[in-house]
Structure formats: structure tokens, C-alpha cells
Amino acid sequence: MAKIETMKTGVTIEVIQGDITALEADGIVNAANSGLQGGGGVDGAIHRAAGPGLLAECRAIAARQGPCPAGEAVVSAGYNLRCKKIIHTVGPVWRGGGSGEAGRLGSCYRKSLLLAHQEGLESLAFPNISTGVYGYPKKPAAEIAVQAVKAALPEAPGITRVLFVCFDAENYRLYQSLLESP
């Protein structure tokens, strides 16, 4: 069952468990690496489902502007996914918490949301950035995700629906309980 919270502003925030590549939304966020070369985890799944055009575009972006730093976001077309655009953001690698990880993780959510708004998207689906291979502890990562999205929404008024797509049960439970508390 999806947990749905409707904010005072009319924006809905939903938590679902599943595969983000199967989702229908205007925009899907990818937890990319700085080279934008595709990889494992959700990045690999998105590239496989989108098709080879995505890697070609990502390589062109990286060739044009260099590596994408952690906390930043870039946009590509959606190719074979059921979305208009893919927002590629680079999460921080967890190094114990004293290396600016929290700020960079919050920035991933904030910049992705602002970029989606600039692109004219109305709905945006996020995976649980950095909580796989990059090792960010799931609870603080979920707290940062929810807080950063709520804080950035007033600056992205075109966005009316945000989805947190949790792959594993632990993240799903964490997000559900975070959105239950005021």
C-alpha cells in the first residue's frame, strides 16, 4: 500500500515500494555516478530499461561539462522509460558523516526538484539516493530526503506530485513512518 501525504499546498508526496524503471511519472531521478557512465544498482536498471540512447546522451553531457560533482544534477531525455525526462544526480559516498555528506545528499534532492521544475515537469520520482553501494545509512538518508524535498517544494511550484520509490522493505518502512509524523 502506498502512503500518501497531501501537503497544505496541494502537493502530494507518495511512498511506494518497487522498481523505479516501471513507474510512470513526468520525471525519474537516477542515482548516477559522477562520470554519468551508467553502473550498478538503480543506475544500471535505468540504463538497461531506457536503452542505449541514454548512455550516448550522458556521455555527451559529461564530455561537454566534465564530471558531475556530488550534490549536483543534470537532465536527459527519458528514452524507453515511461517518463519525459531523467534527472541524473550524484549522491555522496558515505565516509562516516564528517565529510559534508548530509549537505550533499540534501542538495541532490533539492537540485533535482528545481531542475524538474525548470523542465516543466509536474511529477517526480526519487530512488533512495546513496543508500546502496554508496553506503549512506538509511535512516538519516530518508530524513534528509523528506526534509530537503519539503523545503524545496515552494521554490518548485510546478511540481504537484513527488514519489519516493523504495526498493527494499527497510527504506519503505522508514519513509512511511517519516511521512506519518507531522
Output the smallest distance, CB 93 to ligand ADP, in A. Answer: 8
Binding to ligand ADP by residue 79, rule CB under 6 A? no
As a whole number of Å, the CA-based R_g of the chain is 15
Query: Does residue 26 carry a catalytic annotation?
Result: no
Return all residues near 98 (Cβ < 8 A) that are at least 6 apart: none
Rounded to whole angstroms, the Cα distance separating 97 from 169 reads 24
Binding to ligand ADP by residue 131, rule CB under 6 A? yes
Give the range of 5-13, 14-22, 62-70, 155-163 binding ligand ADP by CB under 6 A: 14-22
What cell does 20 get? 523505479
Q: In three state form, how does the secondary structure of 70-111 look?
A: CCCEEEEECCCCCCCEEEEEECCCCCCCCCCHHHHHHHHHHH
Binding to ligand ADP by residue 133, rule CB under 6 A? yes
For ligand ADP, which residue of 15, 28, 29, 31 counts as binding (CB under 6 A)?
Answer: 31
The residues that are catalytic are: 43
Residues binding ligand ADP (CB under 6 A): 19-21, 31, 41-43, 45, 91, 127-134, 165, 167-168, 171
